[in-house]
Amino acid sequence: MPIKKKRISPRQKMINLMYLVLLAMLALNVSTDVLEGFSLVADGLKKSTENASKVNQGIYSTFEQQMKSNPAKVKEWYEKAQYVRGMSDSLYNLAEELKEAVVRESDGEEGDVNDIKNREDLEASTQVMLAPGKGRGKELYDAINSYRKRIVQMVTDQEKKEIISSNLSTEVPTKATTLGKNWQEYSFENMPTAAAVTLLTKLQSDVRYAEGEVLHNLISNVDVKDIRVNQLNAYVIPNAQTIVQGGRFSAQIIMAAVDTTRRPTIYIGGREIQSDKGYYETVCSKTGDFTFSGYIEMLNGSGEKVRRDFSQKYSVVAPSATVSADIMNVLYAGYDNPMSVSVPGVPSSKLRVSMTGGTFEQKGEGKYNARPTTPGTEAVITVSAESEGRHQEMGKFTFRVRKLPDPTAYIAYAGEGGDENRFKGGSISKQVLMGTEGIGAAIDDGLLNIAFRVNSFETVFYDAMGNAVPYKSNGANFSDQQKAQMRGLARNKRFYITDIHATGPDGIERTLDGAMQVIIK
């Protein structure tokens, strides 16, 4: 059955229409005070932009002057400054063009950005920026993103990077009122003409700020290479102050504030050294402590000659190296023996270490593993260091190679603090014994701590007649028969663990001497 619509009275229709009209009037009613506030903000932004532009122009003028006086030094930074000027002016002029377009749309062809008549107009910015097919909002959006990406790459200070990125952000705030709008819709849809112009004026101010930050950074690269400083000193920068006999002593002699386009003149022992970059080098044929001295001359910004004296001490030592076994003064065959290797004054990355009769592998900064192969022989470790593009032998070291000693068998159990304890014979409670899995073996003498793999072992129990009854395991764990025999032991009864076969990291299986006595307490 169809539902009949209830007829609305003429009076109710009039009330509904008046409500809609009221809503529309509220939506269109923009306060005059608010519009006046936009104008005041825009005026303030214009003044800030003008001041920033004057500062930036001063830096451009400085670049022009220095480019004329010293193009070799300034050219690189001058060209970067021109690149910054071009892309900054491009975005600034686009914003100015859009401001004029919005005002003309609002006030007509004679509209003046500095004297807006219809400041409350909500259609002008929407038409200019968002009109289908001809709206320029997307053009501005892309231009801001491109400029931000390029300008931030030229700023070195992280805090200033973040400020510029925030000022030139095109992200839409995440809140209910955005209703899925993109940046251009959020910024210009139904926006009063005064507000749209203020927004574009702020963009121009942000552009000039970003431009100025980059320019200050670029001009500092020129100034740091200028000799115009308040204090000048001569410096000697040696590659190393301790030299191995037969090696070379190298040093760079400079003034503070180096100018790559104006080289100083350097004198040592009254004679000028011929070096484009201020390098001094001499062969060190004797050991001992030495000093060389001289002076450096250079013209300052006024063309006056400046002289500074210098002296530098250095030492020459005989070739030496240190190789030590981290455990003891022998190496064990078939085992990774930890070693330390060092040469005074030489980083580990410059060392080359080799060994005869085995392998020598680096494991970290100055740390190595030596693995000799044959017991009863000698392993010779040779150390050389890279110096001036060549390797120089620093020493040879000979170590005796021995077979790993036999391990000691033990029964592992958890102590009161949860740490592992090792029972190696004597009295043990039945409760602790029954909680263990089997036996282990290791060299554990305070110097070495090397685990072995237990392959098999035998337990010997005694029956009521005093007869020895052996039980064999097939691995490191107690067998079920062995467990049953241990479970039946009374206090003060004992058994023995013997015939233990174990294999060490050298791959050699050995039978351990002696037997472990276990007494139940």
Select, from the ranges 168-182, 242-256, 316-330, the one with the highest average predicted confidence (pLDDT).
Answer: 168-182
Q: Could you give the CA distance from residue 250 to residue 243 in angstroms, rounded to a whole number?
A: 10
Which distant-in-sequence residues (6+ apart) come within 8 Å of 455 by Cβ? 475, 476, 501, 502, 503, 509
Does an H or E element contain 311, and which?
strand 305-317
Residue 246 confidence (pLDDT): 64
338 and 209, same structural domain? no
Residue 300 confidence (pLDDT): 62
458 and 398, same structural domain? no
* Lowest mean pLDDT across 7-21, 265-279, 343-357, 378-392: 7-21
Task: Point out the domain boundary residue: 369, 385, 402.
Answer: 402
67 and 100, same structural domain? yes
Express as a percent the part of the chain with pLDDT over 70. 79
Is residue 423 very low, low, confident or very high in pLDDT (cuts 50, 70, 90)?
very high
Q: Could you give the CA distance from residue 206 to residue 49 in angstroms, rounded to a whole number?
A: 8
The side-by-side arrangement of strands in the sheet containing 337-342 is 322-325, 337-342, 367-372, 358-364
175 and 44, same structural domain? yes
Residue 19 covered by a domain: no
The pLDDT tens digits for 362-402 are: 998 889 999 999 999 999 999 998 876 778 888 888 899 99
Residue 29 confidence (pLDDT): 47
Closest CA to 213 of 176, 167, 261, 146: 167
Residue 453 confidence (pLDDT): 95
Per-residue tokens: 463 = 């029956």
Residue 436 covered by a domain: yes
249 vs 225, which has greater pLDDT? 249
312 and 241, same structural domain? yes
Q: Could you give the CA distance from residue 210 to residue 149 in angstroms, rounded to a whole number?
A: 12
Does an H or E element contain 370, and which?
strand 367-372
Residue 297 confidence (pLDDT): 84
136 vs 390, which has greater pLDDT? 136
Give me the number of domains the chain comprises: 4
Task: Point out the domain boundary residue: 402, 437, 455.
Answer: 402
Q: Could you give the CA distance from residue 424 to residue 504 in angstroms, rounded to a whole number?
A: 19
Is residue 320 very low, low, confident or very high in pLDDT (cuts 50, 70, 90)?
low
Q: What is the mean pLDDT of residues 291-308?
A: 75
Q: What type of residue is 197?
A: V
Q: What is the mean pLDDT of residues 247-275?
A: 73
Coil/strand/helix, residue 282: strand
Residue 228 covered by a domain: no
Residue 155 confidence (pLDDT): 86
Residue 12 covered by a domain: no
Closest CA to 267 of 303, 237, 231, 307: 307
Does an H or E element contain 149, and which?
helix 137-152
Which distant-in-sequence residues (6+ apart) come within 8 Å of 14 by Cβ? none
66 and 173, same structural domain? yes
Residue 349 confidence (pLDDT): 82
The pLDDT tens digits for 204-216 are: 888 998 999 999 8
414 and 342, same structural domain? no
* pLDDT beyond 60 at 189: yes
Strand partners, 290: 314
**Residue in the structure block whose two tokens are 């229709």:** 13
439 and 396, same structural domain? no
Does an H or E element contain 206, and which?
helix 193-223
Residue 21 confidence (pLDDT): 44
Residue 27 confidence (pLDDT): 41
Give the domain CATH number at 476.
Answer: 2.60.40
Task: Point out the domain boundary residue: 402, 432, 454.
Answer: 402
Name the average pLDDT for the chain: 81
201 vs 289, which has greater pLDDT? 201
Give the domain CATH number at 362.
Answer: 2.60.40.10
200 and 73, same structural domain? yes
Residue 12 confidence (pLDDT): 47
471 and 447, same structural domain? yes
Strand partners, 447: none
Residue 459 confidence (pLDDT): 96
Residue 6 covered by a domain: no
* pLDDT beyond 50 at 2: no
Domain that holds residue 262: 234-317
Residue 14 confidence (pLDDT): 54
Residue 454 covered by a domain: yes
Closest CA to 203 of 148, 246, 285, 269: 148
Residue 51 covered by a domain: yes
The pLDDT tens digits for 5-27 are: 345 445 444 544 543 444 344 34
294 and 415, same structural domain? no
190 and 69, same structural domain? yes
Residue 109 covered by a domain: yes
